[in-house]
Amino acid sequence: MASSLTLPSLQLQFPSQRSSKISWRPSTHRLIVRPMRASVSEKSSVPPPPVTTTMATPEPTKLPIREVPGDYGLPSVGPIKDRNDFFYNQGREEFFKSRVQKYQSTVFRTNMPPGPFISSNPKVIALLDAKSFPVLFDVSKVEKKDLFTGTYMPSTELTGGYRILSYLDPSEPNHSKLKKLLFFMLQSSRDRVIPEFHTSFTELFETIEKELTSKGKAGFNDPNDQASFNFLGRSFYGTNPADTKLGTDGPSLIGKWVLIQLGPILTLGLPRAVEEPLLHTFPLPPLLVEGGYHKLYDFFYESSTSVLDEAEKMGISREEACHNLLFATCFNSFGGMKILFPNIIKRLAVAGIKLHTQLAEEVRSVVKNNGGKLTMAATEQMPLVKSVVYEALRIEPPVPFQYGKAKSDFVIESHDAAFKIKEGEMLFGYQPFATKDPKIFDQPEEFVADRFLGEEGEKLLKYVLWSNGPETESPTLGNKQCAGKDFVVFVSRLFVVEWFRRYDSFEAESTVSPLGDLVLVDGCNLNIVCIWLVKRNDIIFAGILA
């Protein structure tokens, strides 16, 4: 995933007084389970791009120059007030919306959590539109050093004492070497991606179906986590984690390790009096996850011999390389799949049977015309699948926050005005506002499956920004765009393809409450494929296999 914060959905915010309904009802369509073959008839190349300068941002036009509105409040008091608004009084979406309305501007000053006493300087200039946001990708204008998690940085004790690639600015010598190593890892694993994805996610489907048959319901998230981690071990390193000392512990160990790092910007739904001192005032000690991290490290060290050999040729120690491989695989790649796949399913479930039918027809006809085999070339012939994945990344990007510190004075533009930015000021972007900018997208809050089809649809891809850069740009050694950008998009397509080669349709019903997503299930007919229920961030299947 991107070289910016990649696990936002661990931010388990529970709305205080809101509810929303998703019309999920039992499907009368039968579950069709077909045997599946997967092979790679050609190599999927992920060449390490050359060192280039970052994308250029447009020169300011003759928009009126405004002072950046907003203020930071009194020292300590202002940041704590904003933190409470962000987590408890308003919630994330309303926090930003209310300030846009107050200042009549999508660019304004505010404080971002965690603030005292974890962050020494929580002051930021927020960029909440599609025009101003891309400056955060322009490393000629902004520095990205130690900004992966925002206005604070977790202890390097959580990463073996090393500043990991995600925290490095492209100007630092180690950045190019470590990113080049990730390009090598992606290249060397290319032939394993499709077959190992099929193997791992067939196991997921079989687990769910077995649970459905025996118990009438089954959880999605835990099997998805296990399948995702197994796939990454098998495809990147040629090792099935379950066959090692790590066993099936990987996902749970990763979850605890990530929590320690992201605790200051998470809310777990605990009472404010408990959560504020526990998560937001002082960092949790790395000692809490030291044993689990060592267990993960041992797995990666023993499994990634060929990649570590290449690292030594590049002048990177095996130890530093291994910590970076662990972070890239567990925090970035696994974290992305853990978030993105349930979000895709959630969106598809709401979209309904018409879209399901179209996807199933597209997937099955292309695979049939390809001799029954699934290849990279075949996925390129599935425009609706591609559009669905892009739309999922647009409407609910797995990377909501980006940061950058101004390297010099410059002028930034929103749609309506221009603003003078001074050297050293911290810029912050909340991506869901930029990717749902109503001046760019029609029906910006709606999941429109075919949004990116055709020539006009493709023009909108430059506003899909999940990877710490536009979808139309590529990661290079000289920028901070996600090294695995194309890999993430491709495996997300594979997920949709695998799903609709196997199943026809599904529906469910869910409401949101302060305790998470509570589930209501109506009726249970013999022909039900599955009813999907959402609880907190977990998708649960319930039903009877036809």
| pLDDT for the residue numbered 26 | 32
Neighbours of 116 (CB within 10 A): 17
Q: Angle 383-395/335-351 helices, nearest 10 degrees? A: 110
Alpha helices in 396-514 (DSSP H): 431-434, 454-459, 485-502
Both tokens of residue 148? 């992966």
Alpha helices in 460-509 (DSSP H): 485-502
Environment class of residue 190 by beta-carbon count within 10 Å: exposed (0-12), middle (13-18) or buried (19+)? middle
Environment class of residue 310 by beta-carbon count within 10 Å: exposed (0-12), middle (13-18) or buried (19+)? middle
| pLDDT for the residue numbered 281 | 96
Alpha helices in 128-249 (DSSP H): 173-188, 193-215, 221-237
pLDDT tens for each residue of the chain, 546 residues long: 544 443 333 333 323 333 333 333 333 333 333 333 333 333 333 444 444 444 445 554 689 999 999 999 999 999 999 999 999 999 999 999 999 999 999 999 999 999 999 999 999 999 999 999 999 999 999 999 999 999 999 999 999 999 999 999 999 999 999 999 999 999 999 999 999 999 999 999 999 888 878 877 777 888 999 999 999 999 999 999 999 999 999 999 999 999 999 999 999 889 999 999 999 999 999 999 999 999 999 999 999 999 999 999 999 999 999 999 999 999 999 999 999 998 898 888 889 899 999 999 999 999 999 999 999 999 999 999 999 999 999 999 998 999 999 999 999 999 999 999 999 999 999 999 999 999 999 999 999 999 999 999 999 999 999 999 999 999 999 999 999 999 999 999 999 999 999 988 875 433 333 233 322 222 233 233 444 444 444 665 554 443
| pLDDT for the residue numbered 399 | 85
Q: Model pTM? A: 0.86
Domain 65-537 sits in CATH at 1.10.630.10
Report the sign of the C-alpha dihedral through residues 294, 295, 301, 302, in that order: positive
Collapsing DSSP to helix, strand or coil, 428 comes out as strand
> What distance in Å separates the CA atoms of residue 489 and residue 363, rounded to the nearest whole number?
16
Domain ranges of the chain: 65-537
- Edge-first strand listing for the sheet containing 21-22: 21-22, 510-513, 516-519
Residues 6+ apart with CB under 8 A from 271: none
What does DSSP say about strands 426-430 and 401-406: parallel, antiparallel, or unpaired? antiparallel
Q: Which residue type sits at 468? A: N
| pLDDT for the residue numbered 214 | 84
530 is in an annotated binding site: no
Q: Could you tell me which of 233, 211, 235, 236 has the C-alpha nearest to residue 221?
A: 211
In contact, 194 and 370? CB cutoff 8 Å: no
What does DSSP say about strands 21-22 and 401-406: parallel, antiparallel, or unpaired? unpaired
Environment class of residue 67 by beta-carbon count within 10 Å: exposed (0-12), middle (13-18) or buried (19+)? exposed
Report the sign of the C-alpha dihedral through residues 434, 435, 441, 444, in that order: negative
